[in-house]
């Protein structure tokens, strides 16, 4: 059977807090180190010619965390998007966002909007940052949009998909989760129905090009059958 090229690599970046704890550092330092892992990994994915990378950066459930940590994370998103825009343009990457963005602080929404617009001309490669993303929320938002548009049943897969945050996004071929946790935590629920999963015990701040290469190699050794014999 022919091996399917990775069009969309999705990553659940987990373990920043435990990484920091193991080094006797505050959790926020783990998130800072996580940003460096993002940079390395996005670069490595480009070298591997993967056109779409999506990163789970903040879930709809992450608001439950202590206020200080949530504020620290918001500060990091602000800083990252502002300071990395030039690099992302140099790398010719369209940066897009998936999630309920309206619930984020206004100035962040503005930064995200500017980033998306400034990079929209790049069509070869995209980086999707999932912010205030939850698979259940995405499905509910889609259903509510469909109802408010007065669309009558039968609702097809195609209609539902058209109402997702990024309707044109291909489903993830490979989903990597770091830190040894074996769960999806509300990521790409609909889109992951035939994704391949790869779990590693490495904490996200330890993830690098070699780790990505290992995951990709593992993926290419698998056979995707989609229910076929």
- Region from 78-86, 89-97, 145-153, 177-185 binding ligand IPE, contact rule CB under 6 A: 177-185
Find the shortest distance in angstroms from Cβ 50 to ligand IPE: 19
For the chain, strand residue ranges (E) read: 8-12, 52-59, 94-98, 126-133, 174-177, 196-199
Instruction: Answer yes or no: are the C-beta atoms of 4 and 224 closer than 8 Å.
Output: yes
Tell me if the bond preceding 81 is cis, omega within 30° of 0: no
Give the chain's count of helices (H) and strands (E). 7, 6
The Cβ-side half-sphere exposure at 23, using a 13 Å CA radius, reads: 15
β-pairing, 8-12 vs 52-59, is parallel
Find the shortest distance in angstroms from Cβ 36 to ligand IPE: 13
The option from Mg ion, ligand IPE, none interacting with 132 (CB < 5 to 8 A, set by class) reads none
List the x/- string, 50-79, binding to ligand IPE by CB under 6 A.
Answer: ------xxxx--x----------x------
Active site residue 14: yes
By CB under 6 A, residue 181 contacts ligand IPE: yes
Find the shortest distance in angstroms from Cβ 203 to Mg ion: 10
Nearer to Mg ion, 14 or 173 (CB): 14
- Region from 7-15, 36-44, 100-108, 153-161 binding ligand IPE, contact rule CB under 6 A: 7-15
Active site residue 201: no
For the CA atoms of 72, 77, 91, 173, the dihedral, rounded to the nearest 10 degrees, stands at 100
What does the alpha-carbon distance between residue 3 and residue 210 come to, in Å, rounded to a whole number? Answer: 21
By CB under 6 A, residue 14 contacts ligand IPE: yes
By CB under 5 A, residue 14 contacts Mg ion: yes
Nearer to Mg ion, 4 or 186 (CB): 186
Nearer to Mg ion, 14 or 138 (CB): 14
Q: Which of 201, 206, 176, 180 is nearest to 188 (CA)?
A: 176
Nearer to ligand IPE, 41 or 59 (CB): 59
Instruction: Answer yes or no: are the C-beta atoms of 128 and 42 closer than 8 Å.
Output: no
By CB under 5 A, residue 31 contacts Mg ion: no
Nearer to Mg ion, 164 or 198 (CB): 198
Start-to-end C-alpha separation, the chain: 11
Q: Which of 163, 170, 159, 118 is nearest to 144 (CA)?
A: 163
Using CB under 5 A, list all residues that contact Mg ion.
14
Residues annotated as catalytic (active site), given as ranges: 14, 62
Using CB under 6 A, list all residues that contact ligand IPE.
12-18, 56-59, 62, 73, 179, 181, 183, 185, 204
């Amino acid at each position: 059977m022919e091996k399917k090229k990775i069009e969309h690599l999705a990553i659940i970046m987990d373990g920043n807090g435990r990484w920091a704890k193991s080094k006797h550092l505050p959790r926020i330092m783990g998130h800072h180190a996580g940003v460096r892992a993002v940079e390395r990994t996005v670069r490595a994915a480009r070298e591997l010619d993967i056109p779409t990378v999506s990163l789970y950066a903040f879930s709809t459930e992450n608001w439950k965390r202590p206020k200080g940590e949530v504020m620290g994370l918001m500060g990091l998103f602000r800083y990252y998007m502002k300071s990395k825009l030039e690099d992302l343009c140099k790398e010719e990457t369209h940066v897009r966002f998936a999630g309920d963005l309206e619930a984020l602080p206004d100035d962040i929404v503005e930064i995200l909007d500017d980033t998306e617009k400034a990079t929209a001309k790049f069509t070869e490669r995209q980086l999707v940052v999932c912010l205030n993303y939850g698979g259940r929320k995405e499905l509910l938002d889609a259903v509510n949009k469909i109802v408010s548009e007065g669309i009558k049943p039968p609702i097809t897969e195609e209609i539902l998909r058209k109402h997702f945050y990024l309707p044109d996004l291909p489903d993830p071929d490979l989903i990597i989760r770091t830190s040894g946790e074996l769960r999806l935590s509300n990521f790409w629920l609909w889109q992951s129905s035939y994704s391949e999963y790869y779990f590693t015990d490495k904490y996200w701040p330890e993830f690098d090009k070699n780790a990505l290469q290992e995951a990709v190699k593992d993926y290419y050794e698998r056979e995707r059958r989609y229910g076929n014999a």
